[in-house]
Structure 1
Amino acid sequence: MDGDDLLSARDLVKSYGGVRALDGVDIRLRGGEVHALVGENGAGKSTLVRILSGSLAPDGGTVRLAERARAGGIAVVSQELSLFPDLSVRENLFPRHPPRRFGLLDRGATDRAARPVLAELGLDVDTGTPVGELPLADQQLTEIARALLRQPRVLVLDEPTSALPAAAVDRLERVLRTLTGRGIAVLYVTHFLREVTRLAQRVTVLRDGRVTLAGVRGAEVGVPDLVKAMLGAAPPPSVRRGRTPVQGPPPVVLAGVCVPGRLTDVTFTVRAGEVVGVAGLQGAGHLDALAVVCGRAAVSAGRVGVGGRGRPRSLREAVRAGVAFVPSDRKRYGLMTDRTVWENTTAVDWLALGRGGVLPSRAELVRRTEELTTRLRLRGGPHDVVATLSGGNQQKVVLAKWLATDPRIVVLDDPTRGVDVGVRAEMHAIVGELAAGGAAVLVASGDLAELTELCDRVLVFVRGRITGELSGPRLTEHELAAAIQTGTRPDGTEHAAAGD
């Protein structure tokens, strides 16, 4: 262990079943430095953080914490907030051993202890306010404040700026400079590569559980180097088979749309016969754009047109305007798993919309289900209970339910999440058929390869705004990753905003 190291790990190995999440990973965190850890989803970052923090045991390798770092230890701020929304800021800041007086929480003592940390973060809140009432950015800063109150010697920040506006990001960067000035080691996990080049003294990049850049100096790498280390060498551009959108008014129009705390001045259209993707990091706003189209988000400004009508104010209104919505969480939002295939596939068209006025006979509903399941090559009969089907076939049932409505607009949120490669290919073919039939398709996916395979063009969202649009030869996984994480192309040049 080097004299400047506060924490070091050597040859870490961790497997889940037959998948090796970490394969001989080394990392060293030095006092007084911000060490950035970057990599695509599934690269092994979360597994490494859990091992370093002691919440997960490795299968092999060693982790050592310097003697002088053991008193303060390691504090981790996870991307998923662990706050108690019904408790006050004060109670969240001191969840375990708060100062007490006569057996009760000493509010004065807690506030005196918290005030310097809150001021350092620029977090001006009433400590008696329930955390759930704070904006998401202030909740994130509250989580960071709680970690700092432990006075750690090693601080791990996992995607700390994904929900923060620019002003809050600037405040956090100032705080990090102060902390490293005190000799604290900061492990900074992020997808925003500009933050890496601006903040980090050292950078480690993971790809498929292995280190591809090991602790290099941040000043010595640029965005193109990081993208290449994350993704490997860029493949040659594929020849895309372009679709020709149907002429006429577009079925989906957003113009200057704002959703408080989520979207700012978002403008785009989706024409009949094209597949348009939306992409971004967690909290970037792309999923909120889907919610607007589906009537699941309140708009404070701008114009929305869906299916030749105005803004739908509920999912039911959106469905009546011709929208089909296939959610990412099929078991929570998409399916009645204890009911049969035919009951699921007919739920929207005949039960929710009540088309035809009179509910058809059971035999007629089963017949319609058989037509859909044959079209989708679903391995299961109309009378099978959905819970008994495989994940891929359950996803097909969700899609069948919406295809039964003969939609003009199809909104897909991670349509192939958790399915195998064969089902994925089948569902991609179905999406192509929908577009060829004149549907307007809007799709979000955390799988960048899926977006490049499916879409005619992809809109990139960063912190609630559309920062770029990729299509044709430029629509590659490398270009898309760079645009999402930095707002730039892999060569470091700027992406133009959509509509420019």
Structure 2
Amino acid sequence: MAHDDILVAEELVKSYGGVRALDGASIRLRGGEVHALVGENGAGKSTLVRILSGTLGADGGTVRAAKDARIAVVSQELSLFPDLTVRENLFPQHPPLRLGLLDRGAMDRAARPVLAELGLDVDPRTELGELPLADQQLTEIARALLRRPKLLILDEPTSALPAAAVDRLERVLRTLTDRGIAVLYVTHFLDEVMRFAQRVTVLRDGLVALAGVERAEVDVPELVSAMLGGRPEQPPRRARSLAADRPPPVVLSQVDVDGRLTDVTFTVRAGEVVGVAGLQGAGHLDALAVVCGRTTVSGGRVDVGGRGLPRSLRDAVRAGVAFVPSDRKRYGLMVDRTVWENTTAVSWLALGRGGIAPARSELVRRTAELTERLRLRGGPYDLVARLSGGNQQKVVFAKWLATEPKIVVLDDPTRGVDVGVRAEMHRIVGELAAGGAAVLIASTDLAELTEVCDRVLVFVRGRVTEEVRGERLTEHGLAVAMQRPEVAASD
């Protein structure tokens, strides 16, 4: 049964430069309840959490908390020290002292009832790094509870946890609310909202789309609709002409990756654009890593480019794979080098095309052809660091187009670029498929998947649960499919 209000925030406004992250958002958190906060990436959830926790000031609005309402936050990225003991992690600041020395007995006496309450049966002297991830997460929750909070904010607490650990977290939440603690549960997993929460608030573009509704009054499709709003759906795509007479360039059959993929089976044919979609940690990015030779397979069969399982990214490149990563500056570019040095790095240095020592003029000429094709604003001799983000992304594309790939793997290829560059990237994807390449694409933007893909494979907890195509290939259709916990589909 719910208690009194612990925290009430009204009409919160926050802008970053010219972008308004929150535009009059309100939320009411009550003791003894789990209140879920959901929304797409960029909806304003992180900004709201930072304001509620006091680490960020609002530009407008009010936050009123109950007297002595201590607030603790358990972030998605654990802030623990794996080389220290559980005890040392529980008391990182202001540990109990006796005669000027650490009072380990007092620390253990304070910690043991909290650990027991969470069902965490560990010796406080155990080194944290020896514990499984689920126990490390509970250790962080225990550290927060030692502060005796009235409001506990859990930010994506299950994104990296196995199903058994999620079950245990449900019991922990029940324990917390029985103590009268208010829990703000920030998550992408709507099935967990329906399972754990008493109320739910949906943010969309900095606005509250649903305000503290009773969980029993909504279902998953209604939550998805609130998250997406009334954006027009893309019309069904026309099927491309596929090379059905040739073996598919990408084949995964009953593939397992320990702890990440289970019994994953799919193919991608030449001339086809296939999307992979899922919530964080669902396994779709691990499937891309298998194709690129960037992860170890523990079972099943993989054939990439007719050469079997690639053992490394270099092996995959030799099989005809091009990989455009989401983090272009960290993995895709040498920002302190020129455009021509970047665009020829793989085709010349890795594949040896053009001989041992091709003339610079020839490499520059090839670069000029690619930059013209991609409409890149910058010349071959320009430093990549001086280009705009969109043009840097075009350089990444140019580098891989120079390899004349058979298989193109794209991870969030238009992240951080403007609408014009996005449209050009989509044009290039279409040209690659029309030229006979097999294209695999992951994107955090569901609209992008509906615009460029012939079909989308949906992953849930390491399995392919559904294949979405035709009239069902819409943002709403994908978002709903990504939330379904059951395994319901095949290749």
TM-score range, shorter chain: over 0.9
Q: Greater CA deviation, 102-111 or 410-419?
A: 102-111
Q: SS in structure 2 opposite 1:268?
A: strand
Shift of 1:336: 0.6
Alignment of 1:188-227 (within 5 A): 188-227=185-224
- Once the two structures are TM-superposed, the CA of residue 287 in structure 1 deviates from its matched residue by 1.0
Choose which of 461, 480, 483 in structure 2 pairs with 1:463: 461
Aligned partners of 2:324, 2:283: CA distance in 1, in Å?
A: 18
Are 2:287 and 1:295 aligned? no
Q: Which residue of structure 1 lines up, in the alignment, with residue 376 of structure 2?
A: 378
Question: Shift in Å at residue 84 of structure 1?
Answer: 2.5
CA deviations on 1:365-424 (whole Å, 9 max, x unpaired) are 111111111111111000001001000000011111111111111111110111110000
Alignment-derived partner of residue 349 in structure 2: 351
TM normalised by structure 1 equals 0.93
With over 3 angstroms needed to count, the CA separation of the structure-2 counterparts of 1:482 and 1:57, relative to structure 1, is same
TM-score, normalised to structure 2's length? 0.95
Distance in 1, matches of 2:81 and 2:181, equals 27
Query: Per-residue deviation at 1:225?
Result: 1.9
Residues 239-282 of structure 1, C-alpha deviations (whole Å, 9 max, x = no match): 31221321221111111212122112211111111111111122
Q: Does 1:416 align with 2:414?
A: yes
CA 1:199/1:60 → structure 2, altered by over 3 Å: closer, same or farther?
same
Specify the SS of the correspondent of 1:419: coil
The letter for the 2-side match of 1:242 is A
Is contact 2:276–2:441 with CA below 8 Å preserved after alignment? yes
Alignment partners' CA distance in 1, 2:322 and 2:100: 56
- Going from structure 1 to structure 2, the CA distance change for 1:407 and 1:3 (only over 3 Å counts) comes to closer
1:125-274 to 2 correspondences below 5 Å? 125=122, 127-233=124-230, 235=232, 238-247=235-244, 248-274=246-272
The answer as to whether partners of 1:331 and 1:337 remain within 8 angstroms in 2 is yes
> CA 1:486–1:75 in 2, change beyond 3 Å: closer, same or farther?
farther
Mapped contact 1:228–1:234 kept (Cα < 8 A): no
Residue aligned with 1:28, SS: strand
Quote the residue 1:440 is aligned against. Answer: 438
The Cα offsets for residues 421-461 of structure 1, whole Å up to 9 and x where unpaired, read as 00000010001100111111111111111111111111111
Partner of 1:52: 52
Unaligned runs of 5+ in 1: 488-493
Equivalent residue for 1:496, pick from 477, 488, 491: 488
**Can you list the C-alpha shifts for 1:316-337, whole angstroms capped at 9, x where unaligned?**
1111111111111111111110
Distance in 1 (CA, whole Å) between partners of 2:129 and 2:371 is 43
Which letter maps to 1:399? F
Distance 2:332 2:83 in 1: 29
Q: SS state of the match for residue 483, structure 2?
A: helix
Q: 1:237, 1:473 within 8 Å by CA — same for their partners in 2?
A: no
Q: Among residues 68, 82, 87, which one is paired with 1:85 in the alignment?
A: 82
* Alpha-carbon distance in structure 1 between the residues aligned to 2:124 and 2:293: 35
CA distance in 2 between counterparts of 1:317 and 1:198 reads 44
Change (3 A) 1:236 1:441: closer
Asked if the contact 2:272/2:437 (under 8 Å) is kept, the reply is: yes
Q: Deviations over 1:334-380 (max 9, x none)?
A: 11101000011111111122235422111111111111111111110
Percent of aligned positions with the same letter in both sequences?
Answer: 81
Shift of 1:486: 3.6
Measured at CA, do residues 55 and 398 of structure 1 come closer, stay the same or move farther in structure 2, by a change above 3 Å? same
- In the alignment, structure 2 segments of 5+ residues that lack a partner are none
Which one-letter code corresponds to 1:200 in the other structure? A
Contact kept, 8 Å, 1:469 with 1:496, in 2: the verdict is no
- Aligned residue for 1:365? 363
- Residue 36 of structure 1 corresponds to which residue in structure 2? 36
| Greater mean alpha carbon deviation, residues 301-310 or residues 391-400 | 301-310
Give the alignment partner of residue 475 of structure 1, picking from 473, 476, 479: 473
Residues 1:405 and 1:50: Cα distance change in structure 2 (over 3 Å): same
Alpha-carbon distance change, 277 to 132 in structure 1, aligned in 2, over 3 angstroms: farther
> RMSD of the alignment, in Å?
2.0
